[in-house]
Amino acid sequence: MRTKSHPDKETKVAVIGAGIVGLMTALEIQRTGRQVVVIDPGEPGGRQAASYGNAGWISTSNIMPLSVPGLWRDVIGYLLDKSGPFVIRWAYLPRLLPWLIRFVWAGRNWKKVNDCAKVRFELCRHSAEDHKNVAAEAGVGHLIEQKGQLYIYRDKSQFLAAASGWDMRRRFGIKVTELGKDDLRKLEPNISARYTCGVLLDDGCHCTDVKAYCEAIAELIRKRGGKFIRARATGFQISDGRLRAVKIGEASIECEQAVVTAGIGSKELAAAAGDRVSLESERGYHVMIADGGRTATRPIMPADGKIGITPMRQGLRIAGQIELASFKAAPDWRRADILHQFASRVFEAPFESDKVIDRWMGHRPATPDGLPCIGPTRSCGGLFYGFGHGGSGLAQAPATAKLLAALVAGQRPRLDVSPMSVRRF
């Protein structure tokens, strides 16, 4: 039975997903002179997108994968500690086990970590500059602030435990400034005295309203002729080895090319195209409190909590940590409460306002090796992937978009995408 075609016959490239990666990709594809249609069941940057709830950090230093040598020793602890920064729900362990084995194996030695970091560095190295340029182009340059990012440690031993990661960043030319107790207080007077040292990344930026930023990019795409369709992509029409259309229920959207940037939903779409992808949800939570901006002036990450504390337009966002469970499992809002309680101990004085104005849980699409899937599908011509960025989607979105735009245009991308090919699975 023939499916009904969407009435827009002029569509050339369909971008599936309206999170930050999809929006950046649609914008870059427009620059090549192509028409784009963005398909998503929700609004651009809405609550359905991982972009909505992240910590808003834009960091050129976000190069380290989560899996590093020795991590396997901690897995038992992750299963037992329900309040820790990395939680695995027992009930879902059997289904998660293949991904977890690949995850631990990916960080089996420092050479593997270094190889991964090289690719991640290329995906992040121009991120701050690119975001500032796009934000200015979209008329919201004020949403990107460059005040650096501050990592804080209770003592020197805790800092030394993370020293290998900072040393690796230095080798890539990333500016890392070590701070003592007095230096911390000069930068952020409200930090608790329990933190005695830290690291400042001067080049770090943050977005003060990720949803508004996404909406501004979407409006820029519309002004340049792009279209948005509120629908869920369910599969593809492929014939003679080439993509012909994207299916949305009983209808279809004809297109010559398509890019899958649908976050955790990309796993099912890749399967529909014949590609099996090792992709799981790093379920992340956030809580937003109505603090008026006096608690912190820049993004802060306490090493003992693995949380990002970010001053935003609406208040203070506390986000991060990881919960591994099924994509469909109900949220465990105790995770948001843990973030809230921990953040209150990071600062000397109580929050100006402790009123919770938002709680959120979302799905950060994570591959086990710490690299996204960027490149063509194995099954047909005209279909490309750009997903699996884990918690680094905001930082890696501009580079991902440029790589995909080059591939769609039939050009050689500036970066070798073979390490990120879906074929590695």
Q: What is the pLDDT of residues 11-21, one digit of tens each?
A: 589 999 999 99
- Residue 10: the pLDDT is 52
Write out pLDDT tens, residues 138-191. 999 999 999 999 999 999 999 998 999 999 999 999 999 999 999 999 999 999
Q: For residue 167, what are the contacts with CB-CB under 8 A and spacing of at least 6? A: none
Structural domains in the chain, CATH included, are: 1-69+109-145+206-279+367-425 (3.50.50.60)
Give me the pLDDT at residue 346, please. 95
Return the closest-CA partner of residue 27 out of 118, 123, 109, 135. 135
Cβ(333)–Cβ(31) below 8 Å: no
Work out the angle at residue 132's Cα, subtended by the Cα atoms of residues 127 and 135, and round it to the nearest 5 degrees.
Answer: 120
Q: Is pLDDT above 90 for 84?
A: no
Give CA–CA dist 40/294, Å, rounded.
37
Query: What pLDDT score was predicted for residue 159?
Result: 95
Q: Any idea what the Cα angle at residue 59 is, between residues 311 and 292, rounded to 5°?
A: 5
What is the structure's pLDDT at 83? Answer: 78
pLDDT at 2 over 50: no
121/266 Cα distance (integer angstroms): 24
Residue 70 has pLDDT above 60, yes or no: yes
* Dist. CA 391–CA 414, nearest whole Å: 23
Mean pLDDT, the chain, as a whole number? 93
pLDDT the model gives residue 5: 42
Q: What is the pLDDT of residues 242-258, one digit of tens each?
A: 999 999 988 999 999 99
Pairing of strands 197-201, 242-248: unpaired
Per-residue pLDDT at 81: 75
- Per-residue pLDDT, 351: 83
- DSSP type of residue 265: G
Share of the chain above pLDDT 70, in %: 96
Q: Is the Cα torsion angle 333, 337, 340, 342 positive or negative in sign?
A: negative
